[in-house]
């Protein structure tokens, strides 16, 4: 079981807005910034959001991140078929003294 | 080209050792912390270990502490992971990842990943 809890699956229709949650504790999300990674099948993860709500260059603005208390969320609006893949939240855990990842959420575009 | 290329994976018997390497190119290797992250088949991501730019700070996941050793050679632009006492639970694709900072720090993220090298522990 991961220190960070994500729903194993999420879904939406093209054009819809979907959110993926990531729940943690005071030793991780409650005190540090959150990163989100996208992993397409058979490829390495790609940074999608850093510092809880910042987008690297090249990531479209229909993708956003937020954090409140010990939870974080990734939102994808204007859902596209290419968004169908796996998403992971990640954050530094002060108790473990290292980064931890959520279990991952598989997003399906219906 | 900015890239990380892992090597050294393969099939190894339980209890044996293996050493992974990661060759960096296209950026100033000695200015950034580096990490190993693994992914068991069909499973999620797990941070394994990290090392600061000057080897002054090193961290390990509890699952590998005492068995794995991370190191780096800045002159060779290379990162290593010595894995001892391997078990079936260590079977995974091992990624090398670049930190955007020099130090292991709570305000972190990985901005470059390699394609991974597969380690299979089986008799």
Chain B residue at shortest CA distance from A99:
B47
The three-state DSSP-derived secondary structure of A54-107 is ECCCCCCCCEEEEEECCEEEEEECCCCHHHCCEEEEEEEECCCCEEEEECCEEE
- The closest of B81, B117, B96 to B32, measured between CA atoms, is B96
DSSP string, A18-63: EEEEEE--TTTTTTS-EEEEEE-TTS--EEEEBTTTBPPTTS-TTE
Residues 6+ apart with CB under 8 A from B27: B2, B98, B112
Other beta carbons within 10 angstroms of residue A91's beta carbon come to 30
For residues A9 and A106, the answer to whether their CB atoms sit within 8 Å is: yes
By the CB < 8 Å criterion, does B94 face chain A? no
Q: Which pLDDT band, with edges at 50, 70 and 90, does A1 fall under?
A: confident
Q: What Rg, from alpha-carbon coordinates, does chain B have? A: 14
Nearest to B47 among A31, A44, A101 (CB): A101
What mean pLDDT do residues B87-92 have?
A: 98
For residues A100 and A3, the answer to whether their CB atoms sit within 8 Å is: yes
The beta-carbon contacts of B59-64 under 8 Å, at least 24 apart in sequence, are B59/A97, B59/A98, B59/B104, B60/A98, B61/A96, B61/A98, B62/A96, B63/B89, B64/B90
What mean pLDDT do residues A32-36 have?
A: 97
Chain B residues close to A103, C-beta within 8 Å: 44
* Residue B107 or B11, more confident: B11
Q: Which residue has the tokens 């939240």?
A: A89
For residues A62 and A76, the answer to whether their CB atoms sit within 8 Å is: yes
What mean pLDDT do residues B80-86 have?
A: 98
pLDDT confidence of residue B105 = 87
Chain A residues close to B48, C-beta within 8 Å: none
What is the pLDDT of chain B when averaged over all its residues? 97
For residues B118 and B9, the answer to whether their CB atoms sit within 8 Å is: yes
Q: Which pLDDT band, with edges at 50, 70 and 90, does B106 fall under?
A: confident
What mean pLDDT do residues A48-53 have?
A: 97
Mind listing the pLDDT tens digit for each residue in B11-54?
999 999 999 999 999 999 999 999 999 999 999 999 999 999 99
Mind listing the pLDDT tens digit for each residue in A61-100?
999 999 999 999 999 999 999 999 999 999 999 999 999 9
By the CB < 8 Å criterion, does A4 face chain B? no
């Amino acid at each position: 079981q991961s220190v960070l809890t994500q729903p194993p699956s999420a879904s939406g229709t093209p054009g819809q807005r979907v959110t993926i949650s990531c729940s943690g504790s005071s030793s991780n999300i409650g005190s540090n910034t959150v990163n989100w990674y996208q992993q397409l099948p058979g490829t390495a993860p790609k940074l999608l959001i850093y510092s809880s709500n910042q987008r690297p260059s090249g990531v479209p603005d229909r993708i956003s991140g937020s954090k409140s208390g010990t939870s974080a969320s990734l939102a994808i609006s204007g859902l596209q078929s290419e968004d169908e893949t796996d998403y992971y939240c990640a954050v530094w855990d002060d108790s473990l003294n290292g980064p931890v990842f959520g279990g991952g959420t598989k997003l399906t575009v219906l | 080209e900015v890239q990380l290329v892992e090597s050294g994976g393969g099939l190894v018997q339980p209890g044996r050792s293996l050493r992974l390497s990661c060759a960096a190119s296209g950026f100033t290797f000695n200015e950034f912390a580096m990490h190993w992250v693994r992914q068991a088949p069909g499973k999620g991501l797990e941070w394994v270990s990290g090392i600061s730019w000057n080897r002054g700070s090193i961290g390990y996941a509890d699952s590998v502490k005492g068995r794995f050793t991370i190191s780096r050679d800045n002159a060779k632009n290379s990162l290593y992971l010595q894995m001892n006492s391997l078990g079936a639970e260590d079977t995974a694709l091992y990624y090398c990842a670049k930190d955007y900072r020099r130090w292991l720090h709570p305000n972190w993220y990985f901005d470059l990943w390699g394609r991974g090298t597969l380690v299979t522990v089986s008799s």
